[in-house]
């Protein structure tokens, strides 16, 4: 996608052939800063501190991290140890484990001296697959927006509400939930996005609003608690969100607050669609509430907030009284019954075992 008219991906191989470059997402939207990651420890730290985030992108970056580890020590023991270490950095999103498992399978039968090269080739293939997957998600989601546009009075935009960041900087390119929006905008459709701020880390305010603006898509930032009000007033035509894991029965784990948007959408008759790349589907898990581990992040993300001061300095300030305890579950689970449907790279389906099995029979076996 574009930053000031220049195409970018969210991860790239550097000129030395083994380091990778990323955008430091903790510096957005105040500055576009690029980081070079040269070993698996740097990759793990970037994922853990959310310099790189977004389920598909975490998987791609983690894959390169495992390739870096094999440059240092190509033994099977190191492969398994470093895969486990990287997987522990973010437990909720299944894409990371999926990508690490894919690297392990790709290199295991190679002689030691060829494992690193095989891992880098597989990591590059994971990145290219992600780009193609997200492009196709956009193509299958686009008709939903076109159908809404066809029913609306002339001059009235299609109004989409989204939560957290499921755009191109959460993936290698295009994004998941934002991919249909970008494709609609690029075709000339009048579309407007309500962007949830997404406390406590403000990924909507800092990331989604930034990338929509960089690409020229009309949008308005709203407080997380405004979504239900907008739906009651008929100002939301469709809710589009991404996901960090979808279970066999169609339960959706996504950024904390997604469940509340699904409840409000159901109460107001607003369609609630989830963009699902194949790497996020976990058919080994059935009951999302019972089986998906929910990452608990530092309470300081709730008690503190980061922003830019009037003098241009970026600073973190306290917003709660000293000594206030804070809980910070990073994700919640939206039951399949609240999901209108899933948008995948293979088409759209209902959020159910039958719907997913029809699109992914090889995973259902």
The one catalytic residue among 130, 173, 224, 244:
244
Phi-psi region of 198 (alpha: psi -120 to 50; beta: other; left: phi over 0): left
The three state secondary structure string of 229-252 is: HHHHCCCCCEEEECCCEEECCCCE
Question: End-to-end alpha-carbon separation of the chain, Å?
Answer: 36
Query: Is the previous residue joined to 204 through a cis bond, with omega within 30 degrees of 0?
Result: no
Q: Which residues contact 143 (CB under 8 A, 6 or more apart)?
A: none
- The count of residues in the chain is 365
- How would you label 335-354 residue by residue, b for 16+ Cβ within 10 Å and e otherwise? bbebbbbbbbbeebbebbbe
Residue written as token pair 């399949």: 336
244 is catalytic: yes
Residue written as token pair 């403000």: 202
**Catalytic residue set:** 244
């Amino acid at each position: 996608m574009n930053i000031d008219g220049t195409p970018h991906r969210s991860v790239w191989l550097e000129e030395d052939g083994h380091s990778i470059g990323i955008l430091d997402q903790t510096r957005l939207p105040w500055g576009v800063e690029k980081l070079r990651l040269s070993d698996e420890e740097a990759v793990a730290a970037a994922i853990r501190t959310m310099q790189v985030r977004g389920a598909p992108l975490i998987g791609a970056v983690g894959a390169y991290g495992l390739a870096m580890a094999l440059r240092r020590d190509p033994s099977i023991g190191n492969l398994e140890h470093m895969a486990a270490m990287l997987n522990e950095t973010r437990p909720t999103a299944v894409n990371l484990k999926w990508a690490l498992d894919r690297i392990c399978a790709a290199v295991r039968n190679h002689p030691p001296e060829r494992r690193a090269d095989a891992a880098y080739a597989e990591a590059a293939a994971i990145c290219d697959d992600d780009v193609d997957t997200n492009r196709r998600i956009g193509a299958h989601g686009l008709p939903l927006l076109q159908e809404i546009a066809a029913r609306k009075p002339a001059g009235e935009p299609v109004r989409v509400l989204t939560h957290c960041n499921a755009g191109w900087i959460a993936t290698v390119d295009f994004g998941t939930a934002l991919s249909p929006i970008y494709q609609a905008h690029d075709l000339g459709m009048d579309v407007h996005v309500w962007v949830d701020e997404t406390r406590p880390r403000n990924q909507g305010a800092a990331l989604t609003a930034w990338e929509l603006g960089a690409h020229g898509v009309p949008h308005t930032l709203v407080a997380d608690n405004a979504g239900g009000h907008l739906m009651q007033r008929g100002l939301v035509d469709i809710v589009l969100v991404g996901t960090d894991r979808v279970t066999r029965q169609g339960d959706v784990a996504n950024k904390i607050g997604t469940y509340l948007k699904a409840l409000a959408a159901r109460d107001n008759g607003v369609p609630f669609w989830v963009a699902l790349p194949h790497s996020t589907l976990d058919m080994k898990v059935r009951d999302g509430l019972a089986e998906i581990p929910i990452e608990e992040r530092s309470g300081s993300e709730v008690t503190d907030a980061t922003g830019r001061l009037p003098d241009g300095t970026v600073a973190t300030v306290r917003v709660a009284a000293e000594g206030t305890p804070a809980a910070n579950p990073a994700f919640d689970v939206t039951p399949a019954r609240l999901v209108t449907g899933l948008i995948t790279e293979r088409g759209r389906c209902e959020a159910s075992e039958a719907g997913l099995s029809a699109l992914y029979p090889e995973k259902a076996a």
